[in-house]
A = this chain, B = another copy of it.
């Protein structure tokens, strides 16, 4: 049985296409008898109105595009899940693309989608795009009136709605917590040295140090590049500087760091505390379970989707908003407990 169209039903009953259209849509303009006959026939033949034709006619596709840099990263998986969930509940499908951290793929995808396929776009910048700073493709998008919501990895040069983690506050809060547990020489290990996100966290870290009268030592900020040996970097750190805490800016680095410390028989958190960013699947299963900063990925996705769909559906232009999502520190066993309230802090 091939796909069936209004035309076919019309031919079958010897009536016009518009009559059939009205009948299947249960219009009051059509006689009960005819309507029932047609509807029965339609059901039996699995008639389904062609979505593409409707999109063309109504000029809405009920579809939004989502571009994430790397779906294997649990944070993005969570965001994606949040987007899908709320988009779906609001009647939208999503076309999803993975830019694989490549500028070119991001560009191609944006161009492909901005062609009437989707009514709006949710995007987090690829690493390469961020490094290059080339966001013309996104500016075109908003020039062409296609709603865009950026999340997490955003660009200041693009004027659109944004949902971002409050990374500054996260860096600040995390550092302050470590200070409160008695740590003073706090290292940051970052594999995302050239992202806005990474910089903000370090800024928050600096502020916390300053407020607590701890001097900032730039040698404690360690950048891990693609082919660097984390083991080596940490060894150097341990040999040359007294340190008592490590903040890892991503989960894998946090776990790796933990394992390296364990292999050197350093007790966590007694000798060195560890806090990691991005509360994912690993942290609670390693031992000691890692204290992590949760970014509420799913919530971010839900927010992004709601903001986008609101903008698609509301007429008149509301001003662009930037939503700051606060992080939570999930305390586990890789950090010391804060001393009682009566402590000297």
Measuring CB to CB, which residues of chain A are less than 8 angstroms from any residue of chain B? 1-3, 46, 48-53, 55-56, 61, 63, 71-72, 74, 77-78, 80-81, 84-85, 88, 93-98, 100, 105, 111-117, 140, 143-145, 255, 259, 262, 280-282, 285-287
Q: Are B78 and A72 in contact (CB under 8 A)?
A: yes
Q: Are B72 and A84 in contact (CB under 8 A)?
A: no
Q: Are B71 and A285 in contact (CB under 8 A)?
A: no
Question: Contacts A50-B115, A50-B116, A112-B93 given: A71-B61 contact, CB under 8 Å?
Answer: no
What's the Cα separation between A217 and B152 when bound, in Å?
52
Chain B residues with Cβ below 8 Å from A113 are 93
Question: Contacts A71-B77, A285-B282 given: A63-B95 contact, CB under 8 Å?
Answer: yes
8 interchain pairs (CB within 8 A)? A1-B145, A2-B145, A51-B116, A52-B52, A77-B77, A84-B98, A93-B112, A285-B285
3 closest A-B pairs (Cβ-Cβ)?
A51-B115, A50-B116, A48-B115
What's the Cα separation between A51 and B118 when bound, in Å?
10
What's the Cα separation between A255 and B287 when bound, in Å?
11
Residue of B nearest to A113 (CB): B93
What's the Cα separation between A342 and B71 when bound, in Å?
46
Question: Contacts A71-B77, A77-B77 given: A52-B281 contact, CB under 8 Å?
Answer: no
Q: Are A117 and B84 in contact (CB under 8 A)?
A: no
Q: Are A116 and B285 in contact (CB under 8 A)?
A: no
A131 to chain B, nearest CB (A): 22
Question: Contacts A72-B81, A259-B285 given: A56-B48 contact, CB under 8 Å?
Answer: no
Q: Are B93 and A94 in contact (CB under 8 A)?
A: no
A26 to chain B, nearest CB (A): 18
Residue of B nearest to A94 (CB): B96
Question: Contacts A71-B84, A114-B48 given: A144-B3 contact, CB under 8 Å?
Answer: yes
A7 to chain B, nearest CB (A): 14
Chain B residues with Cβ below 8 Å from A80 are 71
Q: Are A143 and B81 in contact (CB under 8 A)?
A: no
Q: Are B72 and A61 in contact (CB under 8 A)?
A: no
What's the Cα separation between A53 and B105 when bound, in Å?
24
Count chain B CB atoms within 10 A of each CB in A81, A145, A285 and give the residue with the most.
Answer: A285
Residue of B nearest to A50 (CB): B116
Chain B residues with Cβ below 8 Å from A259 are 285, 287
Q: Are B115 and A46 in contact (CB under 8 A)?
A: no
Residue of B nearest to A48 (CB): B115
Question: Contacts A95-B63, A96-B96, A112-B93 given: A117-B51 contact, CB under 8 Å?
Answer: yes
Q: Are A287 and B287 in contact (CB under 8 A)?
A: yes
Chain B residues with Cβ below 8 Å from A48 are 111, 114-116
Residue of B nearest to A112 (CB): B93
Count chain B CB atoms within 10 A of each CB in A63, A88, A105, A280 and give the residue with the most.
Answer: A88
Question: Contacts A72-B77, A97-B84, A255-B285 given: A52-B56 contact, CB under 8 Å?
Answer: yes
Chain B residues with Cβ below 8 Å from A95 are 63, 93-96
Residue of B nearest to A1 (CB): B143
Q: Are B55 and A52 in contact (CB under 8 A)?
A: yes
Chain B residues with Cβ below 8 Å from A2 are 144-145
A92 to chain B, nearest CB (A): 11
What's the Cα separation between A285 and B263 when bound, in Å?
13
